[in-house]
């Protein structure tokens, strides 16, 4: 027994990946398992994704990919955030595919490959309008040329051409068409320069595009949040996805207090009657945002209760009234909603954020328990 745990239903991840695949017939699926599998536990999530039919995995950092390799995951993995000084030799040795959006990085990858005596598999990234990673289209021909030169010397092989959407979760946003146009232009430039063949995978679609933009699927889709059962476009519903994570805690203390009792730091909640308070042993150090103070709801004793007063580092309080709750009783912070508990989407809505932030912040003190 632990004060709190995040229960992860791996069958939900498997089913969600299968559902995502059914929306992208003919395309490969690379699931993003960065940030500890969106908080679900990276290796377990990765295995569930592969069982659900994903052919590939994606991580932000090289170290995340190396961790998957250390845990015995052999599927192809692409890593895409690579500042100077990353362990590229190890990455190439471990068959981790690497994204490059600038010539210096192509060179660094090629040099690592030269040292290890292996051919590095590289995905060239174009910035088609997200304004984040990747090469601006103006610099793209030079990036392609550098990659082709390195490919000719035998140190790298270009196996992917890719980009990332800024607004795929805003249906009809004009930037979607603009980005697709820019991506097609980047693909044409690369093809004309000599990057081609059926082994070159073209990919741009995150979860939102995987589910709503058939023309953005190209050779591979690259979902993340939807694999964990959370909607990439909440306004359009849940797409039949099943949330995989249920975050629970057990009441550490239940006690009777008089009317007028101030609760937690700052006394932001004051009891308006004699009542009982329940202490929930999770706080902002565990990813329960302090901003959830007085906002988010949890489920305990058969009904929902708003957080009473400040969320602290390790704990927060709920007012349980006269309900027969006692120490050790379960509190569900969020789950799939089937028992009446809030969902991660409701937490995100009440905090003005997205579910990505809710699930990825669950801290390392909270064990992940798999079903
Ligand atoms: C995180 C990420 C994804 C997955 O995005 P979702 O919105 O979670 O589907 C795909 N591609 C890249 C480059 C990412 O960083």
Whether 339 contacts 255, CB under 8 Å: no
User: Measured from the CB, is residue 203 less than 6 Å from ligand 1?
Assistant: no
If asked whether residues 31 and 170 sit together in one domain, one would say yes
If asked whether residues 208 and 264 sit together in one domain, one would say no
User: Measured from the CB, is residue 164 less than 6 Å from ligand 1?
Assistant: yes
If asked whether residues 84 and 208 sit together in one domain, one would say yes
CA 17 to centroid of chain Cα atoms: 14
Q: Which of 231, 256, 285 finishes a domain?
A: 231
Ligand 1 center–CA 223 separation, angstroms: 6
Q: Where are the beta strands (DSSP E) in the chain?
A: 4-8, 28-32, 56-59, 77-79, 96-100, 120-127, 135-136, 156-162, 201-205, 220-221, 245-250, 253-257, 262-263, 269-270, 275-280, 297-300, 303-308, 316-319, 330-334, 368-370
If asked whether residues 146 and 289 sit together in one domain, one would say no
Report the mean per-residue pLDDT for the chain.
98
Residue 252: is its pLDDT beyond 90?
A: yes
Nearest ligand 1 atom to the CA of 207 is: 9
If asked whether residues 196 and 252 sit together in one domain, one would say no
Q: Is 2 contained in some domain?
A: no
Tens of pLDDT along 131-150? 999 999 999 999 999 999 99
Closest CA relative to residue 244, chosen from 3, 5, 16: 16
If asked whether residues 346 and 324 sit together in one domain, one would say yes
**Predicted local confidence at residue 180, as pLDDT:** 98
If asked whether residues 40 and 171 sit together in one domain, one would say yes
If asked whether residues 251 and 319 sit together in one domain, one would say yes
Q: Is 239 contained in some domain?
A: no
Task: State how far the Cα of 351 lies from the Cα of 160, in Å rounded to an integer.
Answer: 37
pTM of the model: 0.97
What number is the average pLDDT over the span 244-267?
98
Q: Which of 205, 231, 257 finishes a domain?
A: 231
Tell which one of 27, 38, 40, 58 to mutate to probe ligand 1, the residue whose CB is within 8 A of the most ligand atoms. 58
What number is the average pLDDT over the span 183-201?
95
Retrieve residue 309's tokens.
């007063």
Q: Which of 231, 255, 286 finishes a domain?
A: 231
**Predicted local confidence at residue 321, as pLDDT:** 98
Residue 47 in marked binding region:
no
If asked whether residues 299 and 199 sit together in one domain, one would say no
Choice between 198 and 100, residue whose per-residue pLDDT is larger: 100
If asked whether residues 207 and 138 sit together in one domain, one would say yes
Ligand 1 center–CA 225 separation, angstroms: 8
Q: Which ranges of 25-122 does DSSP label H, i.e. alpha helix?
A: 34-38, 42-51, 62-70, 88-93, 103-116
Q: Is 237 contained in some domain?
A: no
- The DSSP string of 261-273 is -EESGGG-EE-SS
Ligand 1 center–CA 162 separation, angstroms: 12
Q: Is 96 contained in some domain?
A: yes
Catalytic positions: 34, 265
Residue 1: is its pLDDT beyond 90?
A: no
The pairing of beta strand 262-263 with beta strand 96-100: unpaired
Residue 115 in marked binding region:
no
b/e sequence 338-352, b meaning 16+ C-beta within 10 Å? eeebbbbbbbbbbee
**Predicted local confidence at residue 198, as pLDDT:** 87
If asked whether residues 249 and 207 sit together in one domain, one would say no
Cα-Cα-Cα-Cα torsion 168, 213, 78, 12, nearest 10 degrees, comes to 90
Longest dimension (CA), the chain: 79
With bands split at pLDDT 50, 70 and 90, how would you rate the model's confidence at 105?
very high
If asked whether residues 127 and 58 sit together in one domain, one would say yes
Nearest ligand 1 atom to the CA of 80 is: 13
The angle formed by the CA atoms of residues 18, 24 and 26, to the nearest 5 degrees, is 100
Q: Is 98 contained in some domain?
A: yes
**Which CATH number is 253's domain given?**
2.40.37.10
Nearest ligand 1 atom to the CA of 38 is: 8
Whether 293 contacts 307, CB under 8 Å: yes
Residue 196: is its pLDDT beyond 90?
A: no
Q: Is 3 contained in some domain?
A: no
Domain limits at 160? Answer: 10-231
Tally of structural domains, the chain: 2
**Predicted local confidence at residue 101, as pLDDT:** 98
Q: 3-class DSSP state for residue 117?
A: coil
User: Measured from the CB, is residue 225 less than 6 Å from ligand 1?
Assistant: yes
**Predicted local confidence at residue 259, as pLDDT:** 98
Q: Is 52 contained in some domain?
A: yes
Tens of pLDDT along 199-225? 999 999 999 999 999 999 999 999 999
Ligand 1 center–CA 77 separation, angstroms: 14
CA 55 to centroid of chain Cα atoms: 17
Ligand 1 center–CA 38 separation, angstroms: 10
Q: Is 134 contained in some domain?
A: yes
User: Measured from the CB, is residue 222 less than 6 Å from ligand 1?
Assistant: yes
User: Measured from the CB, is residue 20 less than 6 Å from ligand 1?
Assistant: no
With bands split at pLDDT 50, 70 and 90, how would you rate the model's confidence at 197?
confident
User: Measured from the CB, is residue 32 less than 6 Å from ligand 1?
Assistant: yes
Retrieve residue 348's tokens.
């995100």
Closest CA relative to residue 89, chosen from 123, 60, 64, 66: 66
Percent of the chain with pLDDT strictly greater than 90: 99
Residue 99: is its pLDDT beyond 90?
A: yes
Task: State how far the Cα of 152 lies from the Cα of 106, in Å rounded to an integer.
Answer: 13
**Which CATH number is 80's domain given?**
3.20.20.10
Tell the residue nearest (CA) to atom 6 of ligand 1.
224
């Amino acid at each position: 027994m632990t004060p709190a745990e995040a229960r992860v239903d791996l069958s939900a991840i498997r089913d969600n990946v299968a559902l995502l695949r059914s929306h992208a017939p003919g395309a490969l699926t690379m699931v993003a398992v960065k940030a500890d599998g969106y908080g679900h536990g990276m290796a377990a999530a990765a295995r569930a994704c592969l069982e659900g039919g994903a052919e590939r995995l994606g991580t932000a950092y090289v170290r995340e990919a190396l961790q998957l390799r250390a845990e015995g995951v052999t599927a192809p993995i692409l890593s895409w955030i690579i500042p100077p000084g990353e362990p590229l030799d190890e990455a190439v040795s471990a068959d981790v595919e690497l994204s490059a959006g600038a010539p210096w990085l192509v060179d660094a990858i090629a040099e690592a490959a030269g040292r290890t005596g292996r051919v590095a598999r590289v995905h060239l990234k174009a910035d088609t309008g997200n304004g984040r990673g990747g090469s601006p289209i103006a610099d793209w021909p030079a990036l392609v040329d550098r990659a082709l030169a390195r490919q000719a010397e035998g140190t790298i092989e270009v196996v992917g051409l890719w980009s990332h959407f800024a607004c795929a979760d805003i249906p009809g946003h004009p930037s979607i068409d603009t980005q697709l146009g820019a991506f097609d232009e980047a693909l044409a430039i690369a093809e004309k320069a000599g990057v081609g063949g059926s082994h070159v995978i073209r990919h741009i679609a995150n979860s939102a595009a995987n589910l709503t933009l058939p023309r953005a699927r190209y050779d591979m889709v690259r979902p993340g949040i939807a694999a964990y059962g959370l909607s990439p476009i909440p306004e359009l519903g849940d797409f039949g996805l099943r949330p995989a994570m249920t975050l629970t805690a057990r009441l550490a203390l239940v006690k009777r207090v008089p009317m007028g009792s101030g609760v937690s730091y700052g006394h932001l909640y004051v009891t308006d009657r004699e009542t009982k308070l329940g202490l929930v042993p999770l706080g902002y150090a565990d990813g329960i945002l302090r901003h959830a103070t007085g906002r988010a709801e949890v489920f305990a004793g058969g009904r929902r209760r708003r957080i009473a007063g400040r969320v602290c580092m390790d704990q927060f309080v709920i007012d349980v009234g006269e309900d027969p709750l006692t120490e050790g009783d379960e509190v569900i912070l969020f789950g799939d909603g089937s028992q009446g508990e809030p969902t991660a989407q409701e937490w995100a809505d009440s905090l003005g954020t997205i579910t990505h932030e809710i699930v990825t912040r669950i801290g390392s003190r909270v064990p992940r328990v798999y079903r």
